[in-house]
A and B are shown apart, each in its own frame.
Chain A
């Protein structure tokens, strides 16, 4: 396969993702039985169906709704929340919740990246793998529960602000970094990728030439490692929904959960779109990194055949 096909597919996917998520939601609204306006604004939960239909183009069919919603979203207008925080601008709610989620995800990635680097450099012993795998068997909800109970016992009702609040954030990151096999996969997956590459003839010949295997294998392994890292970031981002709610971290995950539970469609669609944008950005970074690695490898000086 030509080297640029995979990065190109990722670039296209990065662009398509933020367009595809609202499109899929729109399709689902019109495929499911019932009036789309009533799915968005269930009778008994919210009023003003007609006004809502006119505002979001629901009365103009799926294309009308999709184009209206996208046009508003591109200007940062997601409408007002009707149940999570009644009347409040959804874009404000999203903007307020983003920093907490960014901190949780950022801290959660530290053990994962350290695990990957440690596995490559041989700093994490192979005999410790069962330990990481055992920890990874724990579902995130259970580890998060343990953390929530600990903080609640230690700090009581005032455990959401100040240092206890930060502790909640730290626990959330730790849970995401350890549970559901996150750290175990980072260590074992990275090491496995290198083990496979070290079996290659060129890598073994590098020892005879007095060079390091790592230095020779790294450029070839880098695209796979970048792909693994992106998958791990997506996994961590996805996990924020559960962990933030259990630990009471006021992030995007908690906002999305509250929106789903209270059937606040405006909040859910905006939060889902924010997640889609983030995923698209990660794909973009992966594609650019793959292109950079390919250019780096191809710009190496050619060795003349003796």
Chain B
């Protein structure tokens, strides 16, 4: 696959984020009232995305879905990147005891099947706390060991504590070494890639969890009953495969998934090492 060059990739990632953020900002608190006279309208008949079997615009679902996932996904990405930064800095600081403790903890945490833990978290959450954020943060914690391992390995390849010592000998301050030389110049590709991947995984996790709930006509763990996830679009798309004239819903659902995937991949390309 031809690699995207850095600036176009950054522009692409930014555009995708703007699309998602715009959808999240315009999301209505409640979906439009059903209008049975507008059932199954296609995107050409009811722009931009058409309507479902109750005449509700698919734009409502797309926007509400974006509002559900945007902040939790970004928060999860940030948490993973923070944990990875910590592991990289610990390796550079030569704190062997802390480093070993992090590795043992990571080994334990990384051995757990993530979705199983997520379901246990979802079960234990009190009804008032049921939204995507705690689930996304739990996912980020479970994804952190992999990110920390990679960041620590990158720091070790630099030379670990000897790299920092060498830079100090050149007269750089400790803060500059950690923030600029270690994090910005060397750990950045790992941190950004891991954060983008975790953010994407959180979006897909939300879709999966909501889809499973929607398909069984049960309330979702990830959002209030009054809002709709992108999983609803995919579920409508599934009914299209079974004969309902809702192929446009499947198209919109897949388009939104593609937007998230392109965001993650282009972010990764924009941050890759020189």
Instruction: List chain A positions with a Cβ less than 8 A from chain B.
Output: 9-10, 13, 16-17, 20-21, 25, 28-29, 32-34, 39, 129-130, 133, 137, 139-142, 145, 148-150, 152-153, 180, 231, 234, 237-239, 241-242, 245-246, 253, 256-257, 259-261, 263, 265, 268-269, 271-272, 275-276, 278-280, 282-283
Q: Which residue from B119, B123, B238, B261 sits with its C-beta under 8 Å from A148?
A: B238
In the bound complex, residues from chain A placing their C-beta under 8 Å from that of B242 are: 149, 152-153
Q: Is B224 an interface residue (CB 8 A)?
A: no
Q: Which residue of A lies closest to B212 (CB)?
A: A245
Residues of B within 8 Å of A28, CB to CB, are 124
User: Can you give 24 A-B contacts (C-beta < 8 A)?
Assistant: A13-B107, A13-B108, A17-B108, A17-B111, A32-B124, A39-B124, A141-B208, A142-B234, A145-B211, A145-B234, A145-B238, A149-B242, A152-B242, A241-B116, A257-B119, A257-B212, A259-B123, A260-B122, A260-B221, A261-B212, A263-B123, A269-B120, A272-B116, A276-B112
Residues of B in contact with A, size category: 35 or more
- Please give the distance in Å from A44's CB to the nearest CB on chain B: 11
Are the CB atoms of A20 and B108 closer together than 8 Å? yes
What is the predominant secondary structure among interface residues of chain A facing chain B?
helix
Cα(A50)–Cα(B211), bound, Å: 36
Q: What B residues does A239 contact at CB under 8 A?
A: 115
The complex places the Cα of A245 from the Cα of B237 at a distance, in Å, of: 17
Contact of A261 among B216, B237, B238 (CB under 8 A): B216
Q: How far is the CA of A13 from the CA of B110 in the complex (A)?
A: 10
> Is the pair B113, A268 in contact by a Cβ cutoff of 8 Å?
no
Q: Is the CB of B120 within 8 A of A238?
A: no
Query: Counting CB contacts under 8 A, is B259 at the interface?
Result: no
A269 to B117, CA, bound (A): 10
Question: Which of B120, B212, B234 is most buried by chain A, counting CB atoms within 10 A of its CB?
Answer: B120
Q: Which of B206-260 contact A (CB under 8 A)?
A: 207-208, 211-213, 215-216, 218, 221, 231, 234, 237-238, 241-242, 254, 257
Question: For B178, what are the chain A residues with a Cβ–Cβ distance below 8 Å?
Answer: none
**Distance in angstroms between the alpha carbons of A145 and B114 in the assembled complex:** 21
Report the minimal beta-carbon distance from A129 to chain B, rounded to whole angstroms. 8
Give the complex CA separation of A256 and B116 in angstroms.
8
Contacts of A34 in B (CB 8 A): 126
B124 contacts A141, C-beta separation under 8 Å: no
How distant is the Cα of A283 from the Cα of B112 in the complex, in angstroms? 11
Closest 7 pairs (CB-CB, A-B): A238-B113, A149-B241, A130-B1, A139-B204, A141-B208, A241-B115, A260-B119
